[in-house]
A and B are shown apart, each in its own frame.
Chain A
Amino acid sequence: MIATLDPLVADYDQLLPVIAADGLAGFEELRAAAIRRYRESGIPTTRDEEFKYTPLHALTETKYRFGYGANLTREDVSGLLVGDIDAITVVFVNGQFAPDLSSTDSLPNGAYIGSFSDARGFEDEIHANLGTIAHFNNRLGSTNDLRFVDLNSAYLGDGTLIFLEKNVTVERPIHVVHVVSASDVAALSFPRNLIVLGENAEAKVIESYVTHAGNGVTIPVTEIRLAAAARLEHNKVQNESLASTHIANIFVDQAKTSVYTSNNINFGGGVARTDINAYVGGEYCETWLNSANVATGSQIIDNHTRIDHALPNCQSFEVYKSILKDNGVGVFNGKIFVYEDAQKTDAKQTNQAILLSPTATMNTKPQLEIFADDVKCTHGATIGQLRDDALFYLRARGIPLAEAQGLLVYAFAAEVLEKITIDEVREKLEAALFEKLGS
């Protein structure tokens, strides 16, 4: 009964032909199965374990509509956070590919970066990978919830493909921009990104979510496949407007000796939820999950991570940090599964939060499930105020209290931003952080 009332799918039948025409052929079954599964579950409530701290009333109580048809200029986009960096750029507006705003020329041989709809000659790669990474089949203790992945798949139309053949390195950063531009009614969109790196290929990707006008309900899915020895720096920057809802799912599938680095930055959104699920299915992999989050006003920033160590000799390092001000809420749920065969796994998880007001809250839940005996797994969580000794030290050198506090808060998050190796992006985020904390 929920299904008929659910505004996320209320217009689905009318929209289906539009969406289908926008993307590639051959995904009819995937969409049909996904909408069936989604309709069985519907919008989660806080009674659903995976959404315990993610209130989603905005999805039933506010108005939004499928957002195709907005028109933006390059200037509109370049003024947005990290919008004007030097990069191979693929732009989507309200979920719709915007070729006029994108710049994907001069790619090296063996690389495709662009929309699904333009990916002539790479259709097989899309068919072989899309929808095959975002799942929990044959995983241990699968309590995770896939309904927003299903919802995104149900609306599968166009999307971004980043495909690098074996041994291809793309030096320039690749920027996938998802812009929301809405008027009085929020824009609903379902961005879909697919990143496939062949053996020993390397890329740096920025996946950014920003608002040009109004608010968005943005429900992206990003699938990433790394072949042996592939290396990806994946920077996700979410800076949507403060009444937007953002529910993102990222799935990573790592083959042996690959290195995946995620820098997950959230400054925006009213409710911003990101799930990162990394399946480490080869030996000697590295998985780095870094994250900086700032929630002010009444923002809720929720991060769920899951690392499946299925094979031996892999390392994962996870550092999640939140700065919470006013009534800001932070959530961290970090799952690490070490499978029976995954001997010599070295997994380190750290979650830290700074509360800058008595009404800010942090909910943190590390969840380590270890089925191998010869492993090194640690986790630590700290939630607190700024260190008094550090504050005093700064003040004893002449720095007034407010400035000293600002400096320490900034430093706390800057430690994560330092992991971003694209200087232009890091510098812009540092400036944005400074501005956000100052206000």
Chain B
Amino acid sequence: MLTITDLTARVEEKEILKGINLTINPGEVHAIMGPNGSGKSTLASILAGRSDYEVTGGSVELFEKDLLELEPDERAAEGLFLAFQYPVEIPGVTNTYFLRSAINAIRKYHGQEDMPPKEFMALVKQKAALMELDPAMLSRSVNEGFSGGEKKRNEIFQMAMLDPKLCVLDETDSGLDIDALKVVANGVNALRGGDRGILVITHYQRLLDYIVPDFVHVLMDGKIVKSGGKELALELEEKGYDFIKEELAAKA
């Protein structure tokens, strides 16, 4: 469903992605790990269509479409969802209004009518319960005054509401306490299955205990330098990134 080929990108003259290759097939869960500043969020942002980054080469295909040609909202409508590392506060727009706008915009893109209000409210209720979200938060402005953990939980709640085909989670585990981590992981696992693809960016094995990946990739200095199964995450947890650096040095 997603095919990234030789993707290179820079921001303000600085080369950040130096040739990324990654394929996600329907139903697969992939994890990307890597040191701070290696380019993980950059990759996620480019997939979602943030304009601060300049793609200098390579291609990205989502369902046989040229993803890089699509506007950010078109990508979302095509089924891509990015759970932000730093969710944005939007004063004056309530969570409910925001979600209704998003759902109906995506339906419109597919030539469908607005979701009937009753159906929408029922969906909100069901997904809020799944994420153990306080209903009071729904009538508050998007992310405004939310704690770090609440913001992350709200991201996964939105994801559950929008029912995307490909989910990219950028450090959704950071800032979560142990209970919240379980809730978030349960939310993600509830979405797992069928044809849905999931890409989890994380620093910690912890999250992968709950969301067990099919593949783990290590991103270092703008490149995927090693890929493996779920045991690779355990090995990284144990040894740090140095062993990979040594491996790379040995190869060179």
Which residues B71-113 have CB closer than 8 A to chain A?
A: 71-73, 75-77, 82, 84, 87-93, 98, 101-103, 105-106, 109
How far apart sit A389 and B91, CA to CA, in the bound complex (Å)? Answer: 13
Residue B245 at the A interface, CB < 8 A? no
> What residues of A have a CB within 8 angstroms of the CB of B73 in the complex?
395-401, 404
Chain B, residues 42-86, CB within 8 Å of chain A (1/0): the string is 000000111100000000000000000001110111000010100
Residues of B near A392 (CB, < 8 A) are: 48-51, 72, 88
Picked from B82, B101, B141, the residue with its CB within 8 Å of the CB of A396 is B82
Q: Is the interface of A mostly helix, strand, loop or mixed?
A: helix
Task: Report whether A408 and B90 are in contact in the complex, using a CB–CB cutoff of 8 Å.
Answer: yes
A411 near B: Cβ within 8 Å? yes
> Which residue from B51, B75, B84, B106 sits with its C-beta under 8 Å from A393?
B84
Contact: A403 with B101, CB < 8 Å?
yes
* Contact call A395/B71, Cβ cutoff below 8 A: yes
| CA of A74 to CA of B76, assembled, Å | 50
Question: Complex Cα distance A407/B92, Å?
Answer: 9
Contact with B along A360-392 (1 / 0, CB 8 A): 000000000000000000000000000001101
Q: Chain B contacts of A404 at CB under 8 A?
A: 73
Q: Report the bound CA distance from A394 to B142 in whole Å.
A: 10
Interface pair B88/A400, CB less than 8 Å apart: no
How many Å from the CB of A218 to the closest CB on chain B?
Answer: 31
| B248 CB → nearest A CB, Å | 34
Query: Could you tell me if A397 and B71 are in contact, using CB atoms closer than 8 angstroms?
Result: no
Q: Which of A380-439 contact B (CB under 8 A)?
A: 389-390, 392-401, 403-404, 407-408, 410-412, 414-415
Whether B98 pairs with A394 at a CB distance below 8 angstroms is yes
The 8 Å CB contact of A414, one of B92, B103, B158, is: B92
Decide if B49 touches A396 in the complex (CB within 8 Å).
yes
- Assuming the contacts A397-B102, A397-B162, A398-B76, asked whether A411 and B71 have C-beta atoms less than 8 A apart, the reply is no
Contact across chains for B88 and A395 when beta carbons are under 8 A apart:
no
Find the A residue at minimum CB distance from B84. A393
Question: How many interface residues does chain B have, given as a range?
Answer: 20 to 34
Known A403-B101, A403-B105, A407-B101; contact A396-B72, beta-carbon cutoff 8 A: yes
Closest to B107 in A: A398
The residue in chain B whose Cβ has the minimal distance to the Cβ of A387 is B88
Whether A398 contacts B102 by the Cβ 8 Å rule is yes
Pair A411/B91 contact, Cβ less than 8 Å: yes
**Nearest opposing residue in chain B for A415, CB measure:** B92
Q: How far is the CB of B198 from chain A (nearest CB, A)?
A: 17
Assess the A399–B90 pair: CB atoms within 8 A.
no
Q: Tell me the nearest residue of chain A to B86, going by C-beta.
A: A389
CA distance A415 to B90 in the complex (A): 11
Taking a contact as CB atoms under 8 Å apart, the answer to whether B101 and A389 are in contact is no
Residues of A contacting B82 in the complex (Cβ-Cβ under 8 angstroms): 396
Which of B49, B92, B105 touches A399 (beta carbons < 8 Å)? Answer: B105
The answer for the CA separation of A249 and B162 in the assembled complex, in Å, is 50
Q: A397-B162, A398-B109, A399-B102 in contact; A390/B90 too (CB < 8 A)?
A: yes
User: B48's contact among A396, A399, A407, A415, by CB below 8 Å, is which?
Assistant: A396
B49 contact set on A, CB distance < 8 A: 392, 395-396
The verdict on A415 contacting B91 (CB below 8 Å), with A395-B71, A400-B73, A401-B71 known, is yes
The residue in chain A whose Cβ has the minimal distance to the Cβ of B75 is: A396
Q: How many residues on chain A are close to B (CB under 8 Å)?
A: 21
In the complex formed, the residue of B with least CB distance to A418 is B92
Residues of A with C-beta under 8 A to B109: 398
A422 vs B69: C-alpha distance when bound (angstroms): 47
> CA of A401 to CA of B71 in the docked complex: distance in angstroms?
9
CA distance A394 to B49 in the complex (A): 12
Residues of B within 8 A of A394 (CB): 90, 98, 101-102
**Chain B residues within an 8 Å CB radius of A393:** 84, 87-88, 90, 142
Residue contact B72 to A395, C-beta cutoff 8 Å: yes
Instruction: Name the residue on A nearest B106 (C-beta).
Output: A398
State the Cβ distance, B110 to closest chain A Cβ, in Å.
10
CB atoms of B158 and A389 under 8 A apart: no
A399, B141: Cα distance in complex, Å: 17
**Complex contacts, B162 vs chain A, CB 8 Å:** 397-398
- Of the candidates B71, B89, B93, B103, the one having the most CB atoms from chain A within 10 angstroms of its own CB is B93
Q: Which of A39-78 contact B (CB under 8 A)?
A: none
A390-B88 in contact (CB<8A):
yes
Q: Which residue of A lies closest to B45 (CB)?
A: A392
Q: Is the CB–CB distance between A408 and B93 below 8 Å? A: yes
- Least CB distance from A38 to B in Å reads 42
A123 CB to nearest B CB, Å: 46
Give which listed residue, A397, A400, A401, A412, contacts B92 with CB less than 8 A. A412
In whole Å, how far is A50's beta carbon from the nearest beta carbon of chain B?
32
- Report the minimal beta-carbon distance from B191 to chain A, rounded to whole angstroms: 16
A397 partner residues in chain B, CB cutoff 8 A: 73, 76, 98, 102, 105, 158, 162
Chain B residues with Cβ below 8 Å from A398 are 73, 76-77, 102-103, 105-106, 109, 162
B75 surroundings in chain A (CB, below 8 A): 396
Task: Find A389's partner among B72, B88, B92, B103 (CB 8 Å cutoff).
Answer: B88
- Contact indicator per residue, chain B 178-209, by CB within 8 Å of chain A (1) or not (0): 00000000000000000000000000000000
B81 to chain A, nearest CB (A): 8
Residues of chain B within 8 A (CB-CB) of A401 are 71, 73
Nearest CB of chain A from residue B164's CB, rounded to whole Å: 9
List, in ascending order, chain B residues with CB within 8 A of A389's CB.
88
Q: How far is the CA of A315 from the CA of B125 in the complex (A)?
A: 41
- Which residue from B89, B98, B103, B105 sits with its C-beta under 8 Å from A400? B105
Q: In whole angstroms, how far apart are the Cα atoms of A401 and B93 in the complex? A: 16
- Within the complex, the shortest CB–CB distance from A354 to chain B, in Å, comes to 12
B89: chain A residues within 8 A (beta carbon): 390
In the complex, A408 Cα to B82 Cα: how many Å?
20
The 4 nearest A-B residue pairs measured at CB: A411-B92, A398-B76, A393-B88, A397-B102
Would you list 15 pairs from A and B whose C-beta atoms are within 8 A, ordered by A residue?
A389-B88, A392-B48, A392-B49, A392-B50, A392-B88, A394-B101, A395-B71, A395-B72, A396-B48, A396-B82, A397-B105, A398-B106, A407-B101, A411-B91, A415-B92
Q: Other CB < 8 Å A-B pairs besides A390-B88, A395-B73, A399-B101, 10 of them?
A: A389-B88, A390-B90, A392-B72, A394-B90, A394-B102, A399-B73, A399-B105, A401-B73, A407-B101, A414-B92
